[in-house]
Structure 1
Amino acid sequence: MQLESKPAPDGELGVKSKSKEDENESRSGSGSENMGNASGDEQEPPRKKRYHRHTARQIQEMESLFKECPHPDDKQRQELSRELGLEPRQVKFWFQNRRTQLKAQQERAENNVLRHEVEKLRAENITMREAIRNASCPNCGGPATLREMSFEEQHLRIENACLKDELDRVSAVAAKLFGRSVPPMVSQQAPQFSGSSLNLSIQGAAGSNPMSPPAQVAGLLSAPPSGVEELSNANNLNTNKSVVLSDVEKNSVLDLAVMAMDELVQLAQPDSPVWIPSPDASKEVLNYDEYVRQFPKFVESKQYGFKTDATRDDGLVMMNAASLVEVLMDPAKWMEMFCTNVSKALTLEVISCAPGSLSGTLQLMYAEIQALSPLMQTREVYFLRYCKQHQDSTWAVVDVSVDGLHGTPSPASLHCRRSPSGMLIQDMPDSIHDMPNGCSKVVVVEHMEYDDQPVHQLFKSLVSSGGAFGARKWLATLQRQCEALTCYLPGLASAREIGVIPNSPARQSLLKLSQRMTTNFCAGVGAPSSQWTTLSGSVHDDIRVMTRKSVDNPGEPHGIVLSAATTLWLPLAPARVFDYLRSEHLRSEWDNSGMVQEVARIAKGQATGNDVSLFRIDALNQTLNANQNQMLFLQESCTDASGSLVVYAPVELTMINMMIQGGDPAHVAVLPSGFVILPDGSEPHSTTSILQNDATGTLLTVAVQILISTLPSAKLSLDSIVAINTLISNTVQKVKGALTPSNEL
């Protein structure tokens, strides 16, 4: 519903000027009124504007005509006014306002693009200034600045450069004789020349021997020279992640990618002795002694003090190999598919690609891998992603870290390093699995080295067992998401769906809105990204409070958004917590909205609990005011072997009716909140009651978002922080009180 009677004044919809045609129509529309007023009493006060509220049918009919003809002539307006029971002037004013609104949206989009371009140019300018400031002489290694230099100092610099070249030649000869590289001594001998050590070390060690052994390449990439860490950290803070590889670096990373691909293929073989069953036989873990014997080159580049997390898992996925490879090679699609695992992904540079095929594509990427909790630090990785088709029906996609390149920080500053990991994907015959999107067998290998110090105590067991970042989590997420995609196909509605007509536009709209809601929720639960600002004035230390401005996103309410999240441990099985939180009958125990009733349900998979539901609030205050827009809750619940989610957001009833009539859900504003349910990673030591402390527990993350002001320029007050802290604390206490006995609180 919207108000329509008079043309909107300039600036009311964010537009500074109108088109020439709209101005002429505005003058012609008001001319008759001016003439009528001129003939009457000039002392008569101006009459108050009358507004007319159009019906949903009138808006729908005018919208359909607007898509075909934004500028209807008089005949079309006359015909439309007769059909809708409106005056021709009302139809004319509606089309004029609609054009003004469309123009405002286009200008906001163009301004957003220009703003990003300006930020990118500013970042490149800062990088170029830093490079000029740290420029070095290619002959002597000294700073490339014009200043007075004594003859003795100049002679010492030239002699030092000659000694470096001699050391590089000796290192290359030693590498050929002994099969391993000699550690560079540049950082110990010449700390005052840190600004020039990067180019000299790369060109000297790698450039002197283009056919250097893989161990030499891996050692070079994992150990940047001294003096580069400060510049790398500065680039790490830049959201553009600007990285430009030289020709020498491209040759080095190409050899590294080929070696990583060979290792992935060997690790994915079912009879590989590198893998052994875990003590509980629930998964496969790395046989480190056998791994060192078969792959000594990557072991030499292992970061000192890092722990190893290596797992493997395999299963069937409802997607053909070619489509799955396309998802993995596109950062946007990869983030959307694994929204619970990846909070950010960028392609920094495409190093090689074959025209018309993804096979042979090598690209340098940056990603932030997350576990959905404010207590877990996001793992940042700079890595190569290499794709290759080995047979007609078999593909492999491998990832391997390249920390230490120009513009990338060291592994120590990132707290993790990605050893050869990835997926081996094989198409299955249609006669075995007749699926609409095809079916493929996927082998997932996940091998990560990480610093254990930043890991929170609550997540120690989950991380060490591989449940937080291991192969099972990646495979389970992929299987659930690919199964959920089948719900968009016609004729595949489940029998447990209620209140929604199969294959209807309303069903598709609710699914799209729910997917966007869940993706936005996952983006705000983990460690804060560049769009969030962490606040230090939280009342409770275990609750993380963040804020951001929502201005240009049409899918969110405009204004200041405040978010709070916390994680707690419950002595319960994750399945019981999931069933409790998604239940419509038990929602009133922890939610202040009162009793709710499920009016629609869409199945997003065969497993019970993977649903999109629409709840109607049966609160009495919604009937007190007939003009008040009633609110419904859109909820998505999903579960797999790695964990569960329950995400919900309030939606106005008018927006739901708009989608039922076939409207676009892209502009429906949602502000999601919800729960993340993860196993704690421990194994039960007995078969007694699950409420005992030795039983498997649950790591429950609670996250809420509220809109504290519709003005992006509003100031954040301490009362708002206290209010959201109180809200999340009360929710936690209600959930704990309902699920656990009083002596467990």
Structure 2
Amino acid sequence: MSHKTSESELMGKIRDDDYEIKSVNETMDAPSGDDQDPDQRPKKKRYHRHTLRQIQEMEAFFKECPHPDDKQRKDLGRELGLEPLQVKFWFQNKRTQMKAQHERHENAILKAENEKLRAENNRYKEALSNATCPSCGGPAALGEMSFDEQHLRIENARLREEIDRISGIAAKYVGKPLSSLPHLSSHLHSRSVDLGASNFGTQSGFVGEMDRSGDLLRSVSGPTEADKPMIVELAVAAMEELIRMAQSGEPLWVPGDNSTDVLNEDEYLRTFPRGIGPKPLGLRSEASRESAVVIMNHINLVEILMDVNQWSSVFCGIVSRAMTLEVLSTGVAGNYNGALQVMTAEFQVPSPLVPTRENYFVRYCKQHIDGTWAVVDVSLDNLRPNPMSKCRRRPSGCLIQELPNGYSKVIWVEHVEVDDRALHNIYRPVVNSGLAFGAKRWVATLDRQCERLASSMASNIPAGDLCVITSPEGRKSMLKLAERMVTSFCTGVGASTAHAWTTLSATGSDDVRVMTRKSMDDPGRPPGIVLSAATSFWIQVPPKRVFDFLRDENSRSEWDILSNGGLVQEMAHIANGRDPGNCVSLLRVNSANSSQSNMLILQESCTDATGSYVIYAPVDIVAMNVVLSGGDPDYVALLPSGFAILPDGPGINGGGILEIGSGGSLLTVAFQILVDSVPTAKLSLGSVATVNSLIKCTVERIKAAVKCNSA
């Protein structure tokens, strides 16, 4: 800690004056070698001080994009009258200063925590000196009360106070406090989450009949009045377990194969001996932990997690659908502190070969004394009489800590028990490693989406983005349209049962999934019969190389049959984050075919440590001009197609170090095509065969081109 403090003090010497960087042209003024007169004093190096306007402009740009690329630095330097290298040095200095501020803040937190622990230790010592004998009430002799026993008594008293406080929520539903309910009186003095142990999937009277499609989430109803006090107690105990899971180190957590903390199950059972009950037969435990600093205010993060629509939108690649069945508490003091809601959700991987994971759970949000927020989920499977349930959610969620300058530190814990025997073999390594559903994917997605949101709210737009975008409103409209395109693609590409698609059998291939739906009253889709085709396969090429190939407009003609070999030109480019692959583009296809001449394509590419997407959709030129002028993008009809790229599991790089995605790639290809503009028309087998051939031909082209480029 002293080493970190001294380093922070050194970094803390960086002030605004450090933005004075040496001018590139002036570095040549000083003589060198034999040309320098030994009697002549060396010239004093001259420095260039930025003007107030230059600093203000770069400060504003930094808030939106801390890592500008070469093009952005060049455009910004031209606007401000600076060399690109000067801009580069300024941003480097600024990032160093921000890092130093974060380190000073973390040191202050560690110091405060140290003082807190010292004070708590003194209180324990005083409590031990004043301890009384539990039998006679007299002073306790040395050895009659252990330090652990005293600690547990204080902890139990704190938990009892918290349950009494939360019982007020249940009182308004059942008309009496928790302690007066006979079926809960034996649980009030317990620290466990022991509410779903022996009755997993066996109780009745809480949900409706399962519909004919087998859709579990649609058949689940809200809890009964008698169950709500039990849910409250379960949520309180789950919150305690989440905090301990998030803050504990070894031996509870051990380093995993992909730089993610992995749970030591034996130590977990010793630490939480009762939990939510023993693991049901046939289920496999899967637990992981990950932390990151994200560019979003802690209050906004809490709002996203507690609003089911925002949560589903931000994590659209993971949450295929979700809904809130009942809100038991909206929180206190105008925020989500104490909010409690019963929810259902379906979690997915972007592939039809990976079954979704359905959960019925309670979500509880709480602000702690130190200002940290925590949001925890825990399954309510004991309230759902379904022996077919294949996933149970133990206390999972995140801790959110406020940092300076609108940043937040997030510690995420994922802990589930799942039956994944129906999982396709090619996806088993990536799922078992935690890259598919684990904490690393949640945190990586959150980090990328926070950067995207910051980009959409940017007011300082680089000149390069404005080649066809006429206003900041047009930029926001284009990003909003791309967001809807990505959400639509993610919803339809997985194995979710949320969409009203019908699987067709006459596809001619078991590898390609072909489905159809009728679009009539949706303004965001063209009316008529829409055909969707999707397939997943393994390719022995690293994910980054596949991603770079698919997102590059210069290589598009090598795989895109619909572009008909035409020249593809990028008309607009909006950066979405630090990685140059995170961007929204507007492409023009200049095809020799007159029917496809000057076709526009909206494309968004995004990547993080756990996977990548390249999603695109043809757009009408007239409608797109309205969007670029700041018009409403919700009425632009889109049929998104694209690719989802996942690593095939942890791999070993050339240096013998474990690295995500250093092996092969799992590539999912999906198309949506309007085969008839009349919604009442019948689908012909010829249309199915055409789409099936299209996707097969695209896959063959991608395999050939990527392998050739990587040779």
**Both structures adopt the same fold (TM-score exceeding 0.5):** yes
SS of 2:700's equivalent? helix
Letter in 1 for 2:354: M
1:629·1:654 contact (CA, 8 Å) conserved in 2? no
SS of 1:377's equivalent? coil
Q: How does 1:27-176 map to 2 (within 5 A)?
A: none
Post-superposition offset of 1:253: 1.4
Letter in 2 for 1:632: L
Q: Does 1:705 align with 2:665?
A: no
Q: Spell out, residue by residue over 1:19-57, the C-alpha distance to the aligned partner (whole angstroms, 9 max, x if none).
A: xxxxxxxxxxxxxxxxxxxxxxxxxxxxxxxxxxxxxxx
Q: Does 1:257 align with 2:235?
A: yes
1:491·1:502 contact (CA, 8 Å) conserved in 2? no
Q: How does 1:414-493 map to 2 (within 5 A)?
A: 414-429=389-404, 434=405, 438-493=406-461
Equivalent residue in structure 1 for 2:560, among 570, 577, 591: 591
Q: Spell out, residue by residue over 1:297-319, the C-alpha distance to the aligned partner (whole angstroms, 9 max, x if none).
A: 12633222211110000011111
What residue number does 2:43 align with?
A: none
Give the distance between the partners of 1:387 and 1:524, measured in 2 at CA: 31
Q: Does 1:211 align with 2:171?
A: no
Give the distance between the partners of 2:273 and 2:526, measured in 1 at CA: 54
Q: Spell out, residue by residue over 1:56-79, the C-alpha distance to the aligned partner (whole angstroms, 9 max, x if none).
A: xxxxxxxxxxxxxxxxxxxxxxxx
Letter in 2 for 1:581: L
Structure 1 413/474 Cα, relative in aligned 2: closer, same or farther at 3 Å?
Answer: same
Post-superposition offset of 1:599: 1.2
Structure 1 258/494 Cα, relative in aligned 2: closer, same or farther at 3 Å?
Answer: farther
Post-superposition offset of 1:486: 1.1
**Greater mean deviation of Cα atoms: 210-219 or 313-322:** 210-219
Whose radius of gyration is greater, 1 or 2?
Answer: 1
**Greater mean deviation of Cα atoms: 569-578 or 694-703:** 694-703
Structure 1 602/403 Cα, relative in aligned 2: closer, same or farther at 3 Å?
Answer: same
Structure 1 409/576 Cα, relative in aligned 2: closer, same or farther at 3 Å?
Answer: farther
Q: How does 1:248-287 map to 2 (within 5 A)?
A: 248-269=226-247, 271=249, 273-278=251-256, 280=257, 282-287=259-264
Q: Does 1:369 align with 2:352?
A: no
Give the distance between the partners of 2:283 and 2:452, measured in 1 at CA: 37
Give the distance between the partners of 2:248 and 2:382, measured in 1 at CA: 34
Post-superposition offset of 1:446: 0.5
Give the distance between the partners of 1:532 and 1:228, measured in 2 at CA: 29
Post-superposition offset of 1:393: 3.0
What residue number does 2:129 align with?
A: none
What residue number does 2:100 align with?
A: none
What residue number does 2:505 align with?
A: 536
Give the distance between the partners of 2:199 and 2:337, measured in 1 at CA: 25
Q: Does 1:517 align with 2:485?
A: yes
Q: How does 1:185-196 map to 2 (within 5 A)?
A: none
TM-score (norm 2): 0.69
SS of 1:259's equivalent? helix
Give the distance between the partners of 1:268 and 1:285, measured in 2 at CA: 12
Post-superposition offset of 1:741: 5.4
1:630·1:652 contact (CA, 8 Å) conserved in 2? no
**Greater mean deviation of Cα atoms: 327-336 or 234-243:** 234-243
Structure 1 683/495 Cα, relative in aligned 2: closer, same or farther at 3 Å?
Answer: farther
Give the distance between the partners of 1:710 and 1:450, measured in 2 at CA: 42
What residue number does 1:342 align with?
A: 319
Equivalent residue in structure 2 for 1:727, among 675, 680, 694: 694
The answer for unaligned runs of 5 or more in structure 1 is 1-205
Post-superposition offset of 1:724: 0.8
Structure 1 734/498 Cα, relative in aligned 2: closer, same or farther at 3 Å?
Answer: farther
SS of 1:486's equivalent? helix
2:201·2:385 contact (CA, 8 Å) conserved in 1? no
What residue number does 1:565 align with?
A: 534
Letter in 2 for 1:244: G
Post-superposition offset of 1:232: 5.3
Letter in 2 for 1:549: K
Equivalent residue in structure 1 for 2:639, among 671, 674, 681: 671
1:679·1:698 contact (CA, 8 Å) conserved in 2? yes
What residue number does 2:308 align with?
A: 331
What residue number does 1:602 align with?
A: 574
Aligned length: 520
Q: Does 1:300 align with 2:267?
A: no
What residue number does 2:515 align with?
A: 546
Give the distance between the partners of 2:205 and 2:340, measured in 1 at CA: 29
SS of 2:692's equivalent? helix
Give the distance between the partners of 1:297 and 1:239, measured in 2 at CA: 28
2:196·2:276 contact (CA, 8 Å) conserved in 1? no
Identity over aligned residues, as a percent?
48
Q: Does 1:360 align with 2:320?
A: no
Give the distance between the partners of 2:462 and 2:342, measured in 1 at CA: 41
Q: How does 1:374-413 map to 2 (within 5 A)?
A: 374-391=352-369, 393-405=371-383, 408-410=384-386, 412-413=387-388
What residue number does 1:619 align with?
A: 591
Q: How does 1:688-703 map to 2 (within 5 A)?
A: 696-703=663-670
Give the distance between the partners of 1:695 and 1:508, measured in 2 at CA: 36
SS of 2:196's equivalent? helix
Structure 1 220/250 Cα, relative in aligned 2: closer, same or farther at 3 Å?
Answer: farther
Q: Spell out, residue by residue over 1:507-543, the C-alpha distance to the aligned partner (whole angstroms, 9 max, x if none).
A: 1221111111111011110014242222222211011
1:461·1:680 contact (CA, 8 Å) conserved in 2? yes
Post-superposition offset of 1:208: 3.9
Give the distance between the partners of 2:241 and 2:680, measured in 1 at CA: 54
Give the distance between the partners of 1:319 and 1:221, measured in 2 at CA: 41
What residue number does 1:556 align with?
A: 525
SS of 2:475's equivalent? helix
What residue number does 1:83 align with?
A: none
Give the distance between the partners of 1:235 and 1:216, measured in 2 at CA: 33
1:218·1:297 contact (CA, 8 Å) conserved in 2? no
Letter in 2 for 1:597: Q
Post-superposition offset of 1:357: 2.4
Letter in 2 for 1:681: G
Give the distance between the partners of 2:579 and 2:463, measured in 1 at CA: 12
SS of 1:254's equivalent? helix
Q: Does 1:311 align with 2:252?
A: no
1:500·1:601 contact (CA, 8 Å) conserved in 2? no
Letter in 2 for 1:472: K
Give the distance between the partners of 1:415 and 1:701, measured in 2 at CA: 24
Structure 1 540/573 Cα, relative in aligned 2: closer, same or farther at 3 Å?
Answer: same
Give the distance between the partners of 1:272 and 1:578, measured in 2 at CA: 37
Give the distance between the partners of 2:328 and 2:198, measured in 1 at CA: 19
Structure 1 495/604 Cα, relative in aligned 2: closer, same or farther at 3 Å?
Answer: farther
1:232·1:409 contact (CA, 8 Å) conserved in 2? no
2:324·2:342 contact (CA, 8 Å) conserved in 1? yes
The answer for unaligned runs of 5 or more in structure 2 is 1-180
Structure 1 209/490 Cα, relative in aligned 2: closer, same or farther at 3 Å?
Answer: closer
2:239·2:376 contact (CA, 8 Å) conserved in 1? yes
What residue number does 1:41 align with?
A: none
